[in-house]
Structure 1
Amino acid sequence: MPIKAYYNEPISSFLKDDANRILGILTAEHHHALEEQQRWAWLQQISILEAALTDQQDGRIFLEFYIPRMGKRADALLIAKNIVFVIEFKAGASEHTSTAFDQVEDYALDLKNFHEGSHRVPIVPVLVSTNAESRPISELKFADDLVASPVGTNKADLSSLIHKICAEYIFPTLDIDVWMAKGYRPTPTIVEAAEILYRTHSVTDISRSDAGAKNLQETSASVSKIIDQARQNRTKSICFVTGVPGSGKTLAGLNIATRRSDEHRDEHAVFLSGNGPLVDVLREALIRDRATREHIPKKTAEREVRSFIQNIHHFRDDYVGNNDIPVEKVVVFDEAQRAWTRKQAASFMQRKRGQADFNMSEPEFLISVMDRHPDWCAVVCLVGGGQEINIGEAGISEWISAIETLFPTWEVHVSPRIALPEYGSPIEIEKFLASPRVRVDEHLHLAVSMRSFRAEALSDLVGHIIDNEPESARAAFKRIETVYPIYLTRNLDVAKTWLRSQARGTERFGLVASSGAQRLRPEGIHIKTEIEPANWFLNGSTDVRSSYYLEDVASEFAVQGLELDWVGVCWDGDFHHKNETWVCQNFKGTKWQSVNDESRRLYLKNAYRVVLTRARQGMILFIPKGDISDPTRPPSFYDGTFDYLRSCGINTLD
């Protein structure tokens, strides 16, 4: 995706241009009703920039420069003397707030990380609080990636700041034409993506398009074609979309639901998830965003958002004990592998809903609800491999069983990857794939992680670690260690300090652990104290409930499907390495008990698979030392894990 800006001219042309003509261009590109305050702010910015650049004829200036990952625009971007200045104006402001500094630094980091032409280019984030006091900088601090710490100035001193930086710092020649021709490859967090998608109904500006990545639009297009065929032919279809951890399955699902809702309102497409924390976080993010943008009460924003993103269990409960036909013609089930088995669903419905005669698996019941439509419908299942983390989660097998035995007329579309071992029994699935009504489509698989934009091999590394393959893990780590830092430490304070030192702007960091990590409590890690997901993932660094405070620790149940920039993984004895193999344990009462049941062992392995794949930019693994006097925390539980992870190539940090 090429760079975008409302106004884009050489500095020499900008200085000759008429302010009112520039204002006209900005207004024409705005495509929204222009408030008088915005018009005044633009005129102020144009005037300030003209004064600041009078003696700076070479270079280029962009006004209202689009930041795709964030769905926002930087006020100005200036290229002068081989340096990129990202400039944010706060008209009338008399002080530089930390929030404003974070904003302009976020813009600079977005440019650095996601614009190909900016990877090796110096970037200086500049905050212009027009009426603030002058604060001359003594020295500009550039990080290793050449993004400087944000600097603040006012309208009078912007000129001297730019001249000082251009004079004192010499960098290699930057070909501006080449820089502009380079593409943007944004990889937003799922929260950022959901906000942009809900606002614009398009993934065009937020999805990657490089040849090495599966394009979300290809997957969405394939699914939309399946839905269109079902609609035209009056048939019922189900399709299974697979993907590696962090590949954008949820984003693809949100895109499909959004586009169908926008283009075919009579379908009443809905996005359903059994992941309660994910639903809570996405809903709250969209509610806050819409309320802020449209200046409406949160309650008003909440009504529409709740109908678009629903908890799958609430959807299910609406149709138990009746024969009602759902209004929804298209449903997208996120994390379909976590749907319940017949035993788990029946037990829950009897205990919690008083439905003693409920005798169906969740996949069976959900398909049967959609099967009530007399004409057509479409079901889209988003499936993660190796993601089952709780008792009673069925994986893909229950869906296949239900389709084969109870719904013989449904058309089935699948990704070829569901035959891989992590999706279920290969023999059972291979037999299913041989059925004449099953159509295989390669576009229904998302192959490349978007979460770890710096390390597409992360999921391979974590898989090798969990599968006890140290040599393969070492090879995978060598491929990513220069772009995706991972460290080991025996000191929790060291881990916390490292996390705080890595994050810039509003990059989010936090601590995660397995839900079975009950003997980390002496270290101050209380895994049994549940986080409030919306507050933990969305609130700012001054809120004690947020992840930034590094007090509340999130389990695999709270973080599955979500992500942070930097993660501290806290490792306990529930999954520890001993005698060249993994030992699985469950802490009950006052002691550890061996986990011998194969499905429970799988859940525990997957819990660690989840917490180890939450970080977009890097992570640190905290392995306690244990306590020789505490039989629940013997050093042997932790030393073996620490030594094994070092054998995987991961370096220590003291």
Structure 2
Amino acid sequence: MAETRSFWAGTVGSFLQADFEKILGQLAVRVSLIHSGNEEQQLIAWKRELDILQGAFETLGTDVLPWGVLLEMPLQRLGRRLDAVVIIGGTIAVVEFKVGSRTCSSSDVQQVEDYALCLRDFHAGSRGRNVVPIVCAEHAPPVDLPPSIHVLENVSPVLQCNAGGLANCLAMIQRFNDGAPQLDWETFDSSSYNPTPSIVDAARHVYAGHAVAEIGRADASAEVLESAANRLKEIAIQAKRKGSRRICFVSGTPGSGKTMLGLDLVFTGDAGRVAGEPAALLSGNRPLVHVLREALAEDAASRGMTKKEARRQVYQGLQNLLDYLKEHSQGEAPPEHVLVFDEAQRAWDAEVGKKLLGRERSEPALFLDILNRMPWACLVCLVGPGQEINRGEGGLALWGQALEEAAQDGNRWVVHAGYDAIHGGEYVGDGILSGMHSQRNALQLVEEPSIHLTAGLRSYRTPSHGQWVAALLGGRIEEAASIARGMDAPPAYITRDLPMLKSWLRERCRGNQRVGLLASSGAVRLIADGIPPSPRSNELDQVAHWFLKPSGDYRSSNALEVPLSEFVCQGLEIDYAGICWGGDLIWDDGWQPRAMRAPKWQMVRKDDARMYRLNTYRVLLTRARAGLGIFVPFGDDDDQTRKRRQFDLGCKTLKMAGCVSL
């Protein structure tokens, strides 16, 4: 029998005929190749699992012999495994055994539910199939099964049973399958598994020592990420060896893995910390830095490090950008030769520099001034599209100006960038050269196709979501509708009923998935619909609680009590988002941004201010990984700030663009 991806796999018929001692030996050999542990306890647990499965199959009779059985099926490259998968016709049963247990806890339910959701979302063989999670607590009291199985987006609620009740669960799934053709277990076992971690999970994995090749997908997009990560490390090493200054512009679509690459460069072993040198990721996004710091510190503490030491190490690698500039703009050079500048397209101009630091210098110019004092440096700039939401954010043109000025002062930089970052393009806006006068003569430009990322990883269930958002906010409604028709699921669901949106989100708050409400900071009249304002960007603990606290904690996003604005959710993400659409962006032969000048709205006329408001909704519309809901209020004609017609037109336009009513 050829080696399978699962530790053992075959039909129920071959399972019942097999020598269980040989199966146990095969399981033991396979697990020993991954890690060592308490083998004796593991063998006892496996033997009970095999006995329970055997008893269930024999109870059900000969009809079940063609079913597939997979034992210890790897769920991802980081070592997570499913106890057992039973393929019942075209339906997938995921069985999590709790050998010796007399109870089935809420964490047990959440664990197997999360396994089922991961299969649905990331396993090619499970795509479009119904998945039923089961917790089998060996000695638990009997539990009444529901009258029937109902699935939500192909995953049913968790069934619970004891050892003697497993046969009833499998029989219930058999009836639910209703004669659908039997899925081949070999095809299922060999199907690719392509997980897409959230930025918080990716940060945790990188900090724990895993490279992007281990935590990302197993498809072409993973190869692209790995190639980009390796190239960035090569450039950093070249900078040290040659005593040169190099700047890399990593560009790409929203959610394509840019921040993951930055974390990889900073935290992953020797290659990231070039020859043991310290490195740091700098971000002006204080909420992002705080959430990642707290997540990494909690994770490190859970693995045995004191939280104080964990925080010290994390704070060295993740730093606030403005604090860095204040500390190092004058005086000694910083210790880090390798720096990652997150959201570099949002760098501010000289006017903002004067206000913040008392120096009429742009942020790129200040950065290069600091690094020009060092014998060598490698600065990696992560560049995303349409994320500018503050005045004074100048895009890549500011970097071109700063590099040209540095060259004129005798400090030449080698620039590594993709074609779009150099010349301008859809995902970067104006390119580096647009800010220069002498153009190429001032710089050594090296075109690097490998550091322009085109695969959108965030919206893993609707990969073209970013294109849809671009068309929608660009006012190209027919184009948006065309993109939506090519999606497997609608780009968003829309409702005029806030409790209905919350109910839709709560139904999807399963396993470890997170749901939450979002709203524009300019949508100040949403309070009339019972929607409170977002925490401010300096209320960092509230933001961290929103992203990290579990269900049941009122501070969690899952409580659906408080929305986050663009200023505190940018760069972060959740699985299902509910956007509360405000009166600050209405439709009237095109999107019309407005600002509240109490007691009434005022149309926004300036081009840059209009762009910031559209980018606000671009940020909000691209925070969801799995699904998006939109609440559009009805309005109230007795309130001049909430006219019904304006909301009606906006709702109609969103539907014309492909949104579907709940």
Normalised by the size of structure 2, how large is the TM-score? 0.89
Shift of 1:20: 6.1
1:31-430 to 2 correspondences below 5 Å: 31-34=35-38, 41-42=45-46, 44-49=48-53, 51-53=55-57, 61-68=69-76, 72-79=80-87, 83-143=91-151, 145-163=153-171, 165-166=173-174, 169=177, 170-211=179-220, 215-259=224-268, 261=270, 264-292=274-302, 294-322=303-331, 324-349=332-357, 356=358, 358-374=359-375, 376-407=376-407, 408-418=411-421, 419-420=424-425, 423-425=428-430, 428=434
Structure 2 SS opposite 1:17:
helix
Q: Quote how far apart the aligned CAs of 1:160 are.
A: 4.5
Kindly tell me the number of residue pairs found equivalent between the two proteins.
640
CA distance in 2, matches of 1:557, 1:27: 46
Specify the alignment match of 1:495 in structure 2: 501
Shift of 1:551: 1.0
> Is residue 2:510 matched to residue 1:504?
yes
User: CA separation of 1:296/1:228 partners in 2, compared to 1, >3 Å: closer, same or farther?
Assistant: closer
Secondary structure of 1:534's partner? helix
CA offset at residue 130 of structure 1? 2.4
Q: Note if 1:25 corresponds to 2:29.
A: yes
In structure 1, C-alpha distance between the alignment counterparts of 2:327 and 2:33, rounded to whole Å: 46
Instruction: Tell me the distance in 1 between the aligned counterparts of 2:374 and 2:504.
Output: 55
Superposition deviation, residue 387 in structure 1: 0.8
Q: Cα–Cα, structure 1 residues 121 and 402, in superposed 2: closer, same or farther, change >3 Å? A: same
Q: Shift of residue 125 of structure 1? A: 1.1
SS in 1 for 2:215: coil
- Offset at 1:606? 0.4
1:621–1:147 distance in 2 versus 1, CA, 3 Å = closer
Give unpaired runs (5+ residues) of structure 2.
none
**Paired residue type of 2:352:** Q
2:24, 2:658 → 1: CA distance? 60
Verify: 1:472 aligned to 2:479, yes or no.
Answer: yes
Question: Is 1:517 the equivalent of 2:523?
Answer: yes
- Counterpart of 2:444, as a letter, is R
1:620 corresponds to which residue? 629
Question: For residues 35 and 277 of structure 1, what CA distance do their matches in structure 2 show?
Answer: 44
- Check whether the contact 1:518–1:587 (CA below 8 A) recurs between aligned residues: yes
How far is 1:286 from its partner? Answer: 1.9
Distance 1:168 1:188 in 2: 32
Structure 2 counterparts to residues 439-588 of structure 1, below 5 A: 439-480=446-487, 482-530=488-536, 532-578=542-588, 580-588=589-597
For residue 187 of structure 1, give the secondary structure of its aligned residue in structure 2.
coil
Q: CA deviation at 1:240?
A: 0.2
Deviation, structure 1 residue 499: 1.9
Counterpart secondary structure, 1:204: helix
Q: 1:11 maps to which residue?
A: 15
Task: Say if 1:199 and 1:260 are closer, same or farther in 2 by CA, change over 3 A.
Answer: closer
- Residues 253-293 of structure 1: per-residue CA shift (max 9 Å, x gap): 1122233546645221222222112112222222222222x
The amino acid of 1:420's aligned partner reads: G
CA spacing shift, 1:564–1:18, aligned 2, 3 Å: same
Secondary structure of the structure 2 residue equivalent to 1:157: helix
Match of 1:205, SS state, is: helix
Report SS of the residue matched to 1:148.
coil
Task: State the Cα RMSD in Å.
Answer: 2.8
* Secondary structure of 2:212's aligned partner: coil
Task: Kindly provide the CA deviation profile for residues 359-406 of structure 1, in whole angstroms up to 9, marking residues without a partner as x.
Answer: 3222222222222222x2211000011111112323222222111111
**Is 1:71–1:196's contact at 8 Å kept on the other side of the alignment?**
no
- Partner-residue secondary structure (3-state), 2:366: helix
Residues in 1 aligned to 2:148 and 2:438: alpha-carbon distance in whole angstroms: 62
Q: Which amino acid aligns with 2:643?
A: P
Residues 168 and 469 of structure 1: is their aligned pair in 2 closer, same or farther, counting only changes over 3 Å? closer
Q: Tell me: CA distance 1:53–1:21, structure 2 relative to 1, closer, same or farther (3 Å).
A: farther
- For the Cα contact (< 8 Å) 1:19–1:46, is it kept in 2? no
Equivalent position SS for 1:253: helix
The letter of the residue matching 1:633 is R
Structure 1: which amino acid aligns with 2:229? S
Stretch of structure 1 that moved more, 25-34 or 502-511 = 25-34
Distance 1:119 1:543 in 2: 33
Compared CA separation, residues 638 and 168, structure 1 to 2 (3 A): closer
Aligned to 1:594: 603
Cα distance, 1:608 vs structure 2: 0.7
Deviates more, 1:88-97 or 1:114-123: 88-97
**CA distance in structure 1 between the partners assigned to 2:337 and 2:42 by the alignment:** 42
Aligned partners of 2:523 and 2:582 also within 8 Å: yes
Partner of 1:353: none
The whole-number CA distance in structure 2 between the counterparts of 1:35 and 1:262 is 35
CA contact (8 A) 2:600 2:641 kept: yes
- The 8 Å contact of residues 11 and 59 in structure 1, kept in 2 or not, is answered as no
1:399 is matched by which residue type in structure 2?
Answer: W
Q: Is the 8 A contact 2:5 2:189 kept in 1?
A: no
Does the CA-based 8 Å contact 1:63-1:77 persist in structure 2? yes
CA distance in 2, matches of 1:98, 1:410: 56
Once residues 30 and 52 of structure 2 are traced to their aligned partners in structure 1, the CA distance between those partners, rounded to angstroms, is 16
**Unpaired segments of 5 or more residues in structure 1?**
350-355
Structure 1: distance between partners of 2:571 and 2:29: 41
Confirm or deny: 8 A CA contact 2:213 2:223 kept in the other structure.
no
Secondary structure class of the residue paired with 2:345: helix
CA distance in structure 2 between the partners assigned to 1:421 and 1:84 by the alignment: 41
Contact 2:534/2:562 (CA < 8 Å) preserved in 1?
Answer: no
Q: CA deviation at 1:545?
A: 0.9
**Residues 209 and 267 in structure 2, CA contact (< 8 A), matched pair in contact too:** no
1:20/1:620 CA distance change after superposition, 3 Å: closer
| Cα distance in 2 between the residues matched to 1:560 and 1:379 | 22
Q: Distance in 2 between matches of 1:329 and 1:608?
A: 36
Amino-acid identity (%): 35
- How far apart in 2 are the matches of 1:432 and 1:119? 53
Q: TM-score, normalised by structure 1?
A: 0.90
Give the SS at the match of 1:192.
helix
Tell me the alpha carbon deviations over residues 281-318 of structure 1, each in whole angstroms, 9 at most, x when there is no partner: 222222222222x2444333322222222222232232
The answer to whether the 8 Å contact 1:486/1:650 transfers is yes
Q: Which amino acid aligns with 1:119?
A: R
